[in-house]
Amino acid sequence: MADFSSYGPLTAQLDPPFAVVDMAAFRRNADDLVRRAAGTPIRVAAKSVRCRSLLAEALARPGFQGVMTYALPEAIWLARNGIDDILMGYPTVHRAALRELAADPEVAARITLMVDDQEQLDLIRSAAPDGARIRVCLDVDASLRLLGQHLGVRRSPLRTPAQVQALARLVAQDNRFELVGVMFYEAQIAGLPDTSPAVRWVKRRSVAELADRRGAVVDAVKQIGSVTLVNSGGSGSLEVSSADPVVTEVTAGSGLFGPTLFDRYDVFKPEPAVAFALSVVRRPGRGFATMFGGGYIASGAAGKNRLPTPSWPLGLKLVNTEGAGEVQTPLRGEAADRLRIGDRVWMRHAKAGEMCERFNTLYAIEDGELTPLPTYRGEGKNFG
In contact, 276 and 19? CB cutoff 8 Å: yes
- Whether 23-253 and 274-379 share one fold: the answer is no
The highest-level CATH class for domain 274-379 is: mainly beta
In contact, 378 and 361? CB cutoff 8 Å: yes
* Bridge partners, 318 (sequence order): 331
- Work out the pLDDT band at 180, boundaries 50, 70, 90: very high
Q: Is the pTM of this model over 0.85?
A: yes
In contact, 156 and 120? CB cutoff 8 Å: no
Lowest mean pLDDT among 43-52, 167-176, 232-241: 232-241
> Is 293 strand, coil or helix?
coil
pLDDT tens-digit series, residues 333-356: 999 999 999 999 999 999 999 999
Give the model's pLDDT for residue 363: 98
- Work out the pLDDT band at 151, boundaries 50, 70, 90: low
The pair phi, psi for residue 145, each rounded to 5°, is -105, 120
Question: What is d(CA 34, CA 59) in angstroms, rounded to the nearest whole number?
Answer: 12
Task: Give the start-to-end residue ranges of the domains of the chain.
Answer: 23-253, 274-379
Report the mean per-residue pLDDT for the chain.
91
Q: Write down the CATH superfamily of domain 23-253.
A: Alanine racemase (3.20.20.10)
Indicate whether 171 pLDDT > 80.
yes
pLDDT tens-digit series, residues 29-43: 999 999 999 999 999
Indicate whether 310 pLDDT > 70.
yes
- Give the whole-number percent of the chain exceeding pLDDT 90: 74
CB atoms within 10 A of CB 247: 22
Question: What is d(CA 146, CA 158) in angstroms, rounded to the nearest whole number?
Answer: 17
- Nearest alpha-carbon partner for 323 in 312, 309, 336, 334: 309
Supply the DSSP string of 175-221, one letter for each residue: TTEEEEEEEE--HHHHT----SHHHHHHHHHHHHHHHHHHHHHHHHH
Strands 111-115 and 134-140: parallel
> Is 166 strand, coil or helix?
helix
pLDDT tens-digit series, residues 83-103: 999 999 999 999 999 999 999
- Give the whole-number percent of the chain exceeding pLDDT 70: 91
Indicate whether 147 pLDDT > 70.
no
In contact, 17 and 293? CB cutoff 8 Å: yes
More confident residue, 240 or 209: 240
